Amino acid sequence: MAHDSNHQDSHHPKHGFWRTYVFNTDHKMIALWYGITALCFLLFGFGLVMLMRWQLAYPEQPLPLIGKWFGPTRMPDGVMLPEFYNQLGAMHGTIMVFMGIVPLAVGAYGNFLIPLMIGAPDMAFPKINLASYWAFFIGGVVMLASFFVPGGAASSGWTSYTPLAVIATTGQTMWIIGMIFLITSSLLGAVNFIATIFQMRAPGLSFMKLPFFIWAQLVTAFLLLLAFPPLEAAGVMQLMDRVAHTSFFMPSGLVVSGEHLKISGGGSVLLWQHLFWFLAHPEVYVLILPAMGIISEIIANNTRKPLWGYKGMVYSIVILGLLSFIVWAHHMFITGMGTTISAFFQATTMIISIPSVVILTALFISLWGGSIRFNIPMLFALAFLPMFGIGGLTGLPLGLSSPDIQLHDTYYVIGHFHYIVAPGTIFALFAGIYYWFPKITGRKMNDLLGHLHFWPSLICMNLVFMPMMIQGLAGVSRRLYDGGASYAHAQGVLHLNVLMSHAAWVMAVFQIPFIINIFWSLYKGQKASDNPWESTTMEWATATPPPHGNFAFDPKVYRGPYEYSVPGATQDYTPQCQEKVI
Amino acid sequence: MSSGTSSSSIYVLPHTVEPNPETGLFNAKLGIWLFLASEVMLFGALFSSYILLRVSSVNWPLGSTILNIPLGTLNTMVLISSSVTMVMAWASLKMKDFGKFKLYLGLTLLCAFIFLIVKYFEYSAKFHHHLFPETSTYMAIYFTLTGLHGIHVIGGIIVNSYLWGPGSKMWLDQPERFTNRIEIAGLYWHFVDLVWIFLFPVLYLL
């Protein structure tokens, strides 16, 4: 990166290429690696779904131009095989969640901003931080390599339900091994984040003066720390089932393709689902909480007033974290686990919606009476609010056990959670890139290209995901490789597949301005000062780009994180580490 | 660079040695407790799976009819002794007696190796009697739990060997930091011991 050569001269000890870029323990460099790698994985995972959308809109028709490149085991004469479609589906979910959004929202944003926002020179354990990145990288490589083993990548869905996943091809073993690396990476990162936030805050920075983003990262780190190990245990057991032929998840008398499996039996199929969702429900909050943190920072900054109900938001996010551990079985209402258990999990699910609504409402009220600056980060942040709202509200019928009988495993579920993670979390991540780009590079991103990225993306997102709700209500299953073409009840909503696919491809085209913007702005963007957005939090108080060790002075904190438009002050923002109000 | 000790660095990480007055812990001690919390969740999930599989099975064998209780008891004693010597190693450093430290950490390592050797004989006896993970769900959970515990023992051996050998050079220039390292290695080792203390009755006796 161009900026780094300058700051290296003044602050970095002189090292060779490997120590400077690859084995550098500086949290900012690790964050950049996380960010670049995760963005590449996001693009790749998005590419997989582009292929799936062709098959859904035009089943059994050869994919023009590039169809023949995929070979006879995947797409003979350009026509997608059902097996390949299943691989794309499973890997799209896995890549987007575990290799795209989490590493970007936690690995990149958390690593870059936590030490800067709390006034620390680096993370508490810089070497473990580097190990965490490389574990993530290796896990990602294993996942990608699984496409090239016999039988292809994992194809049992991102949930890898047993016994299907146990009898699947080699790709599933690669999936488990890849997941174990990714889990290890998350654990190392989580320990580091929590230790850093507890141990290394600047003098005066009490917990109730922390920016909301830090609170979001702290709760997220606890979720990663405590929810991931049960999936690791489950992964080890599934690996044993696959490699050592045990029967942890294999019921007695299982018949596959007319043949009795030679297994000892006696395993529990539901056990996998319990262990998987014990991770994967907190994981949903791992996806959304950092996004809420990013959005809060941007909204406070661009409304030029304090966040409304900061304390309420903090209490809500902590309660959200705690409750997220006791809602997991709402993914399992129709497994026959019993109405009593369903009643319990439906009650906790309804309760957990309260703190989410508190946070969203507080962010909406924060807009009230502000003189809002409609810059690109703020546009994404403003779009996040209603989009996340739609995602959250459409989740309520899924959380109630009786409507879930109709909606379970339909496109309604896909529409619901994509509203949360795509125009929700991913918009927040885009907002964050536009917002913190000047701190990383010293240059602002281009506004025109930003508009060209934002507006089409917003429209297309809705054109892709809203029709899914309609299809789902009509009862179309989410796992059909022909998009429902061979099902009578799907005929009435089949035409929506074409609309959704075209919207998805148009959306892909309008990500190009974003990619151009990053590279163009890196060299040609408008030069930015140390604090171009006139923000109060501490990452803007240091030089741009921040030097090795982050602060050239000893940061001290005198006030809360959002002291905008303080009455009597001449300047409409008062930074956290500024002693007097001017 | 990361430790703040090399000459080229321009900053020092706070609380690498002296505790943070707010939490009363130095960084690595908080870190190891967090790590152990995640380990509790890992073994907790496996123990929960054990309970679930056992209560839903029609015939679950009594562990004592399959496993060798005297060998299991021996290994329990060996691991508990190693925990004691681990504490003695740390206490020796606190009393500035490096020679005793070498002795006690050496004994801890010896105990860890004895544990693995006994475990090896137990495993080979099972294989000899054609008892494999695929034989029954009981054998599956036995091999999974003790295997995962064994990996943790090996991890402890690697860390403790480093601290006994090349890592102990730190005693010369940063004695306090080295003592802290022994303390957190000890916390991990006690956890590995504690897991076995749960594993032994659950698998061998019940």
Nearest residue of A to residue B140, measured between CA atoms: A246
Rounded to an integer, the average pLDDT of B27-35 is 97
Nearest residue of B to residue A551, measured between CA atoms: B11
Strand partners, A573: A564
Assigned domain for A20 exists: no
Token pair listed for A217: 């990262």
Q: How many CA atoms lie within 13 A of A544 on its CB side?
A: 20
Interface ipTM: 0.93
Task: Give the A window 545-574 contacts with B, CB below 8 Å.
Answer: 548-550
**Across chain A, what does the average pLDDT equal?**
94
Beta-carbon neighbour count of residue B66 at 10 Å? 17
The phi, psi pair for A419, rounded to 5°, reads -60, -35
Task: Give pLDDT tens digits for A107-145.
Answer: 999 999 999 999 999 999 999 999 999 999 999 999 999
Task: Give pLDDT tens digits for A404-438.
Answer: 999 999 999 999 999 999 999 999 999 999 999 99
Task: Give the B window 113-152 contacts with A, CB below 8 Å.
Answer: 132-137, 140-141, 143-144, 148
**In the prediction, which pLDDT does A13 show?**
53
Residue A150: asked if its preceding bond is cis (omega within 30°), the reply is: no
Number of CB pairs < 8 Å for A and B?
144
**Per-residue pLDDT for B182 more than 80?**
yes
Nearest residue of A to residue B45, measured between CA atoms: A230
Assigned domain for A183 exists: yes
Assigned domain for A177 exists: yes
At position A5, the amino acid (one-letter code) is: S
Assigned domain for A392 exists: yes
Structural domains present in chain B: 46-205 (1.20.120.80)
Whole-angstrom distance, CA of residue B203 vs CA of residue A105: 42
Assigned domain for A556 exists: no
Share of chain A above pLDDT 70, in %: 97
- Minimum distance, in Å, between the CA of residue B76 and any CA atom of chain A: 24
Assigned domain for A167 exists: yes
Assigned domain for A558 exists: no
At position A95, the amino acid (one-letter code) is: I
Query: Domain of A357?
Result: 27-251+264-540
Q: Is residue B42 within 8 angstroms of chain A, CB to CB?
A: yes
Strand partners, B25: B20
Task: Give pLDDT tens digits for B40-96.
Answer: 999 999 999 999 999 998 889 999 999 999 999 999 999 999 999 999 999 999 999
Instruction: Spell out which residues of chain B touch residue A225, defining contact as CB-CB under 8 Å.
Output: 34, 37-38, 41
Q: How many helices (H) and strands (E) does chain B have?
A: 7, 0
Q: Do A230 and B53 touch (CB under 8 A)?
A: no
**Per-residue pLDDT for A155 more than 80?**
yes
- Minimum distance, in Å, between the CA of residue B116 and any CA atom of chain A: 21
Instruction: Spell out which residues of chain A touch residue B28, defining contact as CB-CB under 8 Å.
Output: 125
Task: Give pLDDT tens digits for A473-494.
Answer: 999 999 999 999 999 999 999 9
First-to-last C-alpha distance (Å) of chain B:
52
Domain count along chain A:
1
**In the prediction, which pLDDT does B10 show?**
66
Given a contact cutoff of 8 angstroms between Cβ atoms, the answer to whether A153 and A104 are in contact is no
Specify the CATH number for the domain of residue A220.
1.20.210.10
Report DSSP state, residue A104: I
Nearest to B191 by CA among B101, B82, B93: B82
